Amino acid sequence: SCYISSELAHYISEQNMSHVRGKPLHPQTQGKIERWHRSMKNVVKLENYYLPGDLINRLEEFVDYYNNRRYHESINNLTPADVYYGRGETILQQREIIKQKTMKKRRKNYLSQVINV
């Protein structure tokens, strides 16, 4: 491709992936990355950076937070790291177990209150 380096093209080929392009600044085709850019800009614009290193550090903190600690509704309230490293299904199963136990406990508490009234 004319706009892709040979190293990247080689890596993509080795990984059995394809390089998909979309229209820039077009949320319908670039939704997730456009949302990421908006979130990053909102964080970066909150502070003044007097040294380039300050901005770089803040961006690194944001990327770490966004990928490892922030839950994303679009991926079942998991973090991107959970999905990437294959922990997503286990986490969702654990949540379902907790949900069922909680619902059972609430039902039991409700019924005991109704009987005592």
The DSSP-derived string for 1-22 is -TTS-HHHHHHHHHTT------
Name the phi and psi angles at 21, rounded to 5. Answer: -110, 150
CA atoms lying within 13 Å on the CB side of residue 92: 12
> Domain residues of the chain, as ranges?
24-70
pTM of the full structure: 0.66
Tens of pLDDT, residue by residue over 10-49, are: 888 998 888 888 877 777 778 888 888 899 999 889 999 9
Average pLDDT (106-115) is 92
